[in-house]
Homo-oligomer: A and B are copies of this chain.
Amino acid sequence: MPAERPARLKTARTTVKRLPKRARYERDVVDAVLDEAMICHVGFVHDGHPYVIPTGFARDGDTLYVHGSNASRMLRTLSAGVPVCVTVTLLDGLVVARSAFHSSMNYRSVVILGTATPVTDPDAKLLAMRALVDHLIPERWPDLRPITSKELAQTTVLAIPLQEASAKVRTGGPLDDEDDYALPMWAGVVPLALSPSTPESDERLPAGIPTPSYVRRYRRPSGR
């Protein structure tokens, strides 16, 4: 039962107060960050203390999925319906300014607030598992040994609605004090990106198995 596409992700809680010029609430901006990133950081409260745990995720339409073992404390805590914050960050560059004060980083980040709901229906769970695989390695799913009902039963999948969120984006070069531009020192940007290198075949790979193009040519969709 897909929810209606939310027109606004901005709420009082997701309104960016600090450097509001960098804030973005458009769904396409949020989606581009979520679809490029490979991990999210999940925040929740347990025994009164905040915890932040990195994990894989996938977006499918208006839903964010995270998953893991039934034994995971994070997933068991979230399954109870406690408030959650999911933050996704892409680091795009170092902004090398002329002063420490204006030194910065280029980044795109998304903060999502809400509560998680366990996905219990086996068919829906299978679709979520496929979304999680497709998110990380497009075209891989059809090649995989099919998931078993036992594996599915051992896996907790949580759905978090993409309803209350904000993005924050910094791009471009340093913004220095006017007087500092004349200083005889280099300033600019060192671009950064998470980059794949040559795939490493498993030691136990049978002879004659080629590396598929979706692995050889692996790259993230770029939102830039």
Residues of chain A touching chain B, judged by Cβ–Cβ distance below 8 Å, are 13, 17-18, 38-39, 41-45, 48-54, 56, 68-69, 71-74, 83-87, 89, 91, 94, 96, 98-101, 103, 105, 107, 109, 111, 113, 129-130, 132-133, 136-137, 140-141, 143-145, 147-148, 151, 154-155, 173-174, 180-206, 209-212, 215, 218
The complex is assembled from copies of this chain, and their number is 2
Taking a contact as CB atoms under 8 Å apart, the answer to whether B203 and A199 are in contact is no
Apart from A43-B51, A91-B194, A194-B194, what 13 extra A-B contacts exist at CB < 8 Å? A38-B91, A49-B85, A52-B86, A53-B111, A99-B147, A100-B130, A101-B155, A145-B185, A184-B209, A187-B205, A189-B199, A189-B200, A189-B202
Taking a contact as CB atoms under 8 Å apart, the answer to whether B87 and A54 are in contact is yes
Taking a contact as CB atoms under 8 Å apart, the answer to whether A45 and B50 are in contact is yes
Instruction: Jot down 29 A-B pairs with beta carbons below 8 A, ordered by A.
Output: A18-B68, A18-B73, A38-B105, A42-B52, A43-B50, A44-B50, A48-B83, A52-B52, A52-B85, A53-B87, A53-B111, A54-B107, A91-B194, A96-B199, A98-B145, A100-B130, A100-B144, A101-B147, A101-B151, A103-B133, A103-B137, A103-B140, A105-B136, A186-B209, A186-B212, A187-B205, A190-B199, A190-B215, A192-B197
